[in-house]
Structure 1
Amino acid sequence: MEPTTRERIATVLRDEAATPSELSTRVGTARNAVYDHLRHVARSLSDTDEQLLVSPPTCRDCGFDAFDDPLNDPSNCPECRSESVAEPAVRID
């Protein structure tokens, strides 16, 4: 049986940290769908010894990284309004 998209994402994240764009390319799904899959993966890990660790998005211009939801895709920085925001990095540990 073929592994599901979420299973493939979890397998990648157990090996290394990745951004949603990198996961999108590796598992063959849309980047915006990866965020939803990651939330489900995090819930599925709640009864295990593993957890989904998220390095939040960071503004490349001012360094702001205190986003309300670290697992999101902000269009701009709330501090300086720059659109140069790096994606979050995610891994399973």
Structure 2
Amino acid sequence: METTRQRIADALREEPRTASDLGAALSLPTPTVYEHLEHVSRSVGEGDADEEFLVAPPTCRDCGFDGFDDPLNEPSRCPECRSERIDEPAFVIR
């Protein structure tokens, strides 16, 4: 039986996914997925140096800003234009 973190890592090895995608697929609330992603990001590459945990940062749909401080967190608004139209970060293991 796989742990939740193993299931998340396996899903990210298949294709890029957002926390919402993972939450829906694994029946988990999005904030819980973000907690697991922090641990998955630290464990990837420890035993297998060929793998990397990659993050496509969140992006503001109004002004295009993508320089958010913490890519492992879903921002509520853009620091540049204050818009709340933010695309979620996407994660993948390659």
TM-score class, shorter: over 0.9
Once the 2 structures are TM-superposed, how far is the Cα of residue 4 of structure 1 from its aligned partner?
Answer: 0.8
Q: Which residue of 2 is the match for residue 43 of structure 1? A: 42
Q: How many residues of Structure 1 are paired with residues of Structure 2 in the alignment?
A: 92
Distance 1:35 1:69 in 2: 11
How far the C-alpha of 1:45 sits from its partner, in A, is 1.1
**Within 2, Cα distance between the matches of 1:82 and 1:20?**
20
Q: Distance in 2 between matches of 1:43 and 1:92?
A: 12
AA aligned to 2:26 is V
- The corresponding residue for 2:11 is 12
TM-score, normalised by the number of residues in structure 2: 0.94
Query: Identity of aligned pairs, percent?
Result: 58
Distance 1:43 1:69 in 2: 15
Q: Structure 2: 5+ residue runs without aligned partners?
A: none
Q: In the aligned structure 2, how far is the partner of 1:5 from the partner of 1:89?
A: 18
Distance 1:32 1:86 in 2: 16
- Correspondence list, 1:1-80, <5 A: 2-47=1-46, 48=48, 49-80=50-81
Q: Distance in 1 between matches of 2:23 and 2:53?
A: 17
Matches of 1:25 and 1:92, distance apart in 2: 19
SS at match of 1:36: helix
How far did 1:46 drift? 3.5
Structure 1: any 5+ residue segments left out of the alignment? none
Q: Secondary structure of the equivalent of 2:33?
A: helix
